[in-house]
Homo-oligomer: A and B are copies of this chain.
Amino acid sequence: MAVIDRRVTVSSERVMAMGIDILARAQAPSPAAEQQVRQLVEGDLRGRPSHGIQRLPTLVARIENGVLDAQASPTVAGRGTATALVDGGHGFGPPAAHLAVDRAAALARAHGIGLVAIRQAGHLGMLAPYVERLAADGLVGIALTTSEALVHPAGGRVAMVGTNPIAIGVPADPDPYVLDMATGAISAGEIIAHADREQDLPAGCAVDAAGRPTIDPRAALAGAISPFGGAKGYGLGLGIELLVALLSATALGQDVHGTLDATKPVTKGDLVIAVDPGGVTGAAVSDYLAALRASPRAADGAPVLVPGDRMRAERARCLVEGIAYPEVLWSRLVLLAGGEDA
């Protein structure tokens, strides 16, 4: 069966305007809605459509179902001298995250390091833009998030750990180091996309319901995602789960909800850490990253990259050429906006 993959290419400004329009119809006030939509469009611009505007319909459904409060404003309260807690009030994630970034940066400037935990905020979207903002400000940034349990433990077969991403930003010239990676071997969205295209999965990404490794995307959907890198990736993802849940007093494992579904209050948490490198110059970091990029390639000839490079190139390209959305997604957005697609 041939799979139809018609695309509509749209400028980021046009998606932004349409997204804000859609949220305005859901009674979301303008600055929060703009931060939310911008974060989704950043996902698309950076080649991560799973964190892109395709999440907007779920957000609208969450508002309609009363589990996302579009009017909420996040609040921040101090905890220790160098720590704070942001409460999202069950509103959008990005406004809470930007508040946490601001506070973490201020704490780092004042005390050398700052840690801000976030609870009761919606999905933050891609973490990269937050740590990138800290790095642009001359600070080291780390962000961690829990998410719905989709990953099986090493040696297990039931999804009990989130795909828990980690992001790290380090200032450098001409571009910062920006890592943003999930600790699952593949995203749920990618498995669904493989199923839609009737394509095998890469080996080692998932197990079926009996815990056997599978490359069949439908069997994987009935099973669980594998941790990336085996037992080590499991250990790291689990470590993120524990750190975030303990320090933000949020849920663990299968009790984590509210970023993929449209019906449950959000129970995941997030952490933002900023560190001030102080008087230390970052020139050595920049030189080292340049040496990595210039280092000899593997036998297959692809160039050596540093985390953030591909994302940055994709973003620059999409800002010029536009973002290619599946026609079915774009039609759905047009419908949500009241059918007004100019």
Size class of the contact patch on chain A: 35 or more
**Mask of A102-139 contacts with B, CB within 8 angstroms, 1/0:** 00000010111111000000000000000000000000
Chain B residues with CB below 8 A from A242, complex form: 168, 170, 172, 177, 285, 288
Which residues of A in the span 307-330 have a Cβ within 8 Å of any Cβ on B? Answer: 307
Q: Say whether A47 faces chain B, with CB atoms less than 8 Å apart.
A: no
Q: Say whether A193 faces chain B, with CB atoms less than 8 Å apart.
A: no
Most chain B CB atoms below 10 A, which of A111, A211, A233, A252: A111
Chain B residues with CB below 8 A from A108, complex form: 80
**Stretch from A10-18, A20-28, A270-278 forming part of the interface with B:** A270-278
Taking A155-B302, A299-B212 as contacts, is the C-beta distance between A278 and B140 under 8 angstroms? no
Q: Say whether A306 faces chain B, with CB atoms less than 8 Å apart.
A: yes
B232, B243, B273, B278: the one contacting A80 at CB < 8 Å is B278
B181, B211, B302: the one contacting A232 at CB < 8 Å is B181
**Stretch from A32-40, A67-75, A290-298 forming part of the interface with B:** A290-298
Whether A235 and B307, one on each chain, are in contact in the complex, defined by CB atoms closer than 8 angstroms, is: yes
Whether A112 and B285, one on each chain, are in contact in the complex, defined by CB atoms closer than 8 angstroms, is: no
Chain B residues with CB below 8 A from A115, complex form: 112-113, 275
Q: In the bound complex, what is the Cα–Cα distance between A212 and B252 (angstroms)? A: 41
Q: In the bound complex, what is the Cα–Cα distance between A236 and B113 (angstroms)? A: 20
Whether A304 and B156, one on each chain, are in contact in the complex, defined by CB atoms closer than 8 angstroms, is: yes
